């Protein structure tokens, strides 16, 4: 259950985003992960700096928080991000099991600045066979062996 939103954490995420631009380090996105009323990790967009298309501010903050807390789950934490998360970052927030996401700018604002995720949202609504990026299943029986091993593993850590 999310706690009460604290605008100061969002202001910090926005300041990170602006600083990332003014220093020339990367895109206009910043994020912080909060637990128990304190920031446990932060992240900025480092896509171009790190040559990593997945290095969005939210993903970087989630990775840093998981490392700082020594856990793959961030239940009990909240994400404050300067902009509404893209599909990848929203999925990462779900996978991290965050309690809440608070954001400043809307996806439409990002679009006006040249960061448009509308194409991704449209692609996700399509059947896999109709998407621009071909997605073809191969070796399904062989691939199932990994899941069979998971099911049988007595020492797995479920998530």
Rounded distance, CA 69 to CA 64, Å?
A: 9
Place of tokens 């621009």: 132
Helix (H, G, I), strand (E, B) or coil at 123: helix
Tokens (6 digits) for 79: 């994400």
Rounded distance, CA 60 to CA 1, Å?
A: 23
CA angle 124, 129, 132 (to 5 degrees): 60
Query: Which residue among 42, 58, 123, 142 is the active-site one?
Result: 58
Does the active-site annotation cover 58?
Answer: yes
Contacts of 148 (CB under 8 A, 6+ apart): none
Catalytic residue IDs = 58
């Amino acid at each position: 259950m999310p706690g009460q939103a604290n605008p100061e954490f969002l202001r910090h995420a926005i300041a990170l985003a602006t600083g990332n631009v003014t220093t020339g380090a990367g895109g206009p996105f910043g994020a912080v992960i909060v637990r128990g009323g304190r920031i446990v990790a932060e992240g900025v967009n480092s896509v171009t700096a790190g040559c990593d298309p997945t290095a969005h501010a939210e993903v970087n903050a989630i990775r840093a928080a998981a490392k700082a807390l020594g856990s793959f789950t961030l239940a009990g934490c909240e994400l404050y991000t300067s902009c509404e998360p893209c599909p990848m970052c929203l999925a990462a927030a779900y996978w991290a099991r965050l309690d809440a996401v608070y954001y400043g700018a809307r996806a439409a604002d990002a679009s006006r600045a040249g960061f448009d995720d509308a194409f991704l949202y449209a692609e996700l609504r399509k059947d896999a066979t109709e998407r621009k990026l071909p997605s073809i299943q191969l070796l399904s029986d062989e691939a199932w062996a990994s899941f069979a091993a998971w099911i049988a593993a007595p020492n797995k850590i479920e998530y």
